Amino acid sequence: MEPAPALPKHRWLDALIALGLWASSVTVYALTLTPSLSYKSPDGNELATICYVLGLAHMTGYPLYTWLGKLFTFLPVGDVAYRVNLMSAVLGAGGVALLYVICLLLTRRRLPSAFAALFFAFSLAFWSQTGIAEVYATNVFVVTLTLLLALVWADREERDRTTGPGGWHALLFPNPWTTLVFMALCLSFGLSLGTHMSSLGFAPALALFVLLINWRAAITPAKLVGGTLCFLLGVAQFLWLPYKAGSLNDPIMVHHMPSTLQGLYDYTLGAFPQMKFAYPLSALPDRVIVYLYLLEQNVRVPGILVGIYGMWEMLFRRPKRFWLLFTMYLVHLVFFTQYRVFDLDVFFIPAHLLFVVFIGFGVAQLVDYTMRALRWLARRMTEQPLMLQLGKMGVNMALAAILVMPIAHQLFANWAANDYSQDTAINDFYVNAFDLLPKHSTLWGQGGVFGYDMFYWRLVYDMRPDVIMPLLAGMRPDRGTLAQIDPARIYTTEAQAGNTNGKRTPWSASPGLLPADAWYVPVLLGQSGTLFNGRRMGLALYHVSAEPPALLVSQAQPQHPVEQAINGLTLVGYDLDEVQARPGGRVHLRTYWQIAQARPPLIATALGDTVLETHELGQGNLSRYAQEVHALRPGDILVEDYWLVLPSTVSSGALDLRLGVLDLRLGPRGEPTTDNLITVGTIHVQ
């Protein structure tokens, strides 16, 4: 083990570098930020709303995240959801700046530390969380702050032991600044649980680190009492849970309501037991392979090799710091390789962060060896100081250029996947949906956590107070609410919401609240969103009707005849009431299809090269219609009549309206291709 070299001089320069890293990161994040609500996170719409109303989020509560989000809602930019999204960008970039300081404390080298910070900033998983309302970017900020305070405390503690009086004097009269840093460390660690409960897994590593640095520090009265009180102060944030427990309306969360000690445990430490250690030991090799695949996506194969090398170097050069980082990394790795969840990669973000620290240390050692070798070679070639200095500057510039290349690769390779700046589907849809709804109508949809794409508009902006949302106050509306419902003015965003034979979730409207034999007639179709796992999420407004829709016509007389066969169907023609529209507006479309096969195909509508929506022919009603109303025969003409939402991001000008059967092949970003769609007309967007 070599003694750690001194920190570089000119601390103001490091402050400027950290500020520059924050500014460059937050600029990229702002350019790719989601404009408002989004389905990129399954919980993001709930979190954005909960921050504004200061309610209680889903398990494990996230009180610190809620309070920080509330502060960001006061910013005079964008709408409320945008401001909470912006918090992820700002604090995520703050974590990048703190990561630079962490690596600087470990390596004492600016260039490798800046490299590690930017390399992590533009990694796939972390970047994906900086553009949406989610807890993971904020959690990285608090985790890096905790780790930084641990390293600063360790440096001060070791310096005090070297330069101070030592012995009982140091035990009874500790350095007050060292004690304050230790207390700040404990407070930060307690607060980190309010951004993600998994941070509790870092406790063994932090305790081990304290013992390795100075076990006497653990029994110093000032540190013991002060640190404990500060940690408890941070944990006291969870008193928010029983205080706000009555505001819950999610069926699963209500079942574990944190209004008692048992409920508080179930809502926090005992949350999601079905996901923890969900795989048998025989599945461990497969789970490790899954993790390695995710790690390779984020740091690439060369990064993995350099990270392993950095672990080896740190083990011998900075062993106490190594055991802190490696234990944190190992605990996180073991827990989440056994965690069953569809968006697993985001749970590994703290592990990716720690691995990048090892990468930074490995890069620092490689740079150091390179510089030593080049200095030896330069001295053999010349003894002139000026030439040596110029050579050193040239080598530094060359190394900087080499280290820029992986960062540039991360930036360009991950930009498309993490660019959410055009994701306006939810806002565009609901603005038009609330505009179309008749007065005193009833709007059903999903409840609980997944209903906040709809609840947001009422809770934040009090939009259409005349429209009844029965699931806003709870999963089972009271009789007074049900008595206000006009059966002729019932609408829903969930297809077949009242059909108990359809696909249901715990957040669907309860059976009996909507008539089971009702027809769900599409009124408005919005642009499809995409969830983490690639499942496309259609946005549609249905009228719940006792009468079947008029799906078949005996004779079609469209305004715009087409008569073109497309994959087993014939597009007879269409009616388009509005040839002029505005971005974010809607057009009224009526299409006529001649049936040539029994199985309903998937229909797609596009504006230019942008697929606006996809749906099954007949909007899910065709099979039932054929059984109960009119048997389908080849040659029958089916009509679809609905309003179509135009994205607010669409460019102005004359754009081709395209229709056809959906090609199941996907494009490079997971979107449907438009190869099978034909141009049938033009819409003028103003």
Q: What is the pLDDT of residues 316-329, one digit of tens each?
A: 999 999 999 999 99
- The alpha carbon of residue 210 and the mean position of all alpha carbons in its chain are separated, in whole angstroms, by 34
How confident is residue 164, by pLDDT bands cut at 50, 70 and 90?
A: low
In this prediction, residue 117 carries a pLDDT of 98
How confident is residue 597, by pLDDT bands cut at 50, 70 and 90?
A: low
List the domain boundaries for the chain. 11-265+274-418, 424-547, 549-686
Eight-class DSSP state of 675 = T
The token pair that represents 246 in the structure block: 């009555």
How confident is residue 251, by pLDDT bands cut at 50, 70 and 90?
A: confident
How confident is residue 531, by pLDDT bands cut at 50, 70 and 90?
A: very low
Residue 2 φ/ψ, nearest 5 degrees: -95, 145
Q: pTM of the full predicted structure?
A: 0.92
Give every strand in the sheet of 610-616, ordered side by side. Answer: 580-581, 677-685, 653-661, 602-607, 610-616
How confident is residue 201, by pLDDT bands cut at 50, 70 and 90?
A: very high
Average pLDDT over residues 639-655: 92
Q: How far apart are CA 480 and CA 44, in angstroms?
A: 31
Q: How far apart are CA 529 and CA 54, in angstroms?
A: 27
Is the per-residue pLDDT at 379 higher than 70? no
What's the angle, vertex CA 266, arms to CA 263 and CA 271, rounded to 5? 150
Least confident of 486-500, 528-542, 615-629: 528-542
In this prediction, residue 6 carries a pLDDT of 67
Q: Helix axis angle, 203-214 relative to 176-192, nearest 10°? A: 170
Q: Token match 């715990």: residue?
A: 506
Q: How far apart are CA 473 and CA 525, in angstroms?
A: 26
In this prediction, residue 534 carries a pLDDT of 39
> What's the number of CA atoms in the CB half-sphere (13 Å) around residue 501?
4
Paired strand residues for 604? 614, 660
Is the per-residue pLDDT at 596 higher than 80? no
Are residues 100 and 20 in contact, defined by beta-carbon separation less than 8 angstroms?
no
Q: Taking all residues of the chain, what is their mean pLDDT, rounded to a whole number? A: 88
State the distance between the two ends of the chain, measured CA to CA, in whole angstroms.
69
Is the per-residue pLDDT at 500 higher than 50? no
Average pLDDT over residues 268-296: 94
How confident is residue 230, by pLDDT bands cut at 50, 70 and 90?
A: very high
In CATH terms, 549-686 corresponds, of 2.60.40.10, 3.20.20.70, 3.40.50.1980, 1.10.1370.30, to 2.60.40.10
In this prediction, residue 663 carries a pLDDT of 60
H/E stretch holding 242 reads helix 240-244
How confident is residue 275, by pLDDT bands cut at 50, 70 and 90?
A: very high
Average pLDDT over residues 459-476: 91
Q: How far apart are CA 84 and CA 36, in angstroms?
A: 9
Q: How would DSSP label each residue in 147-210? A: HHHHHHHHHHHHHHHHHS--HHHHHHS--HHHHHHHHHHHHHHHHHTTT-GGGGGGHHHHHHHH
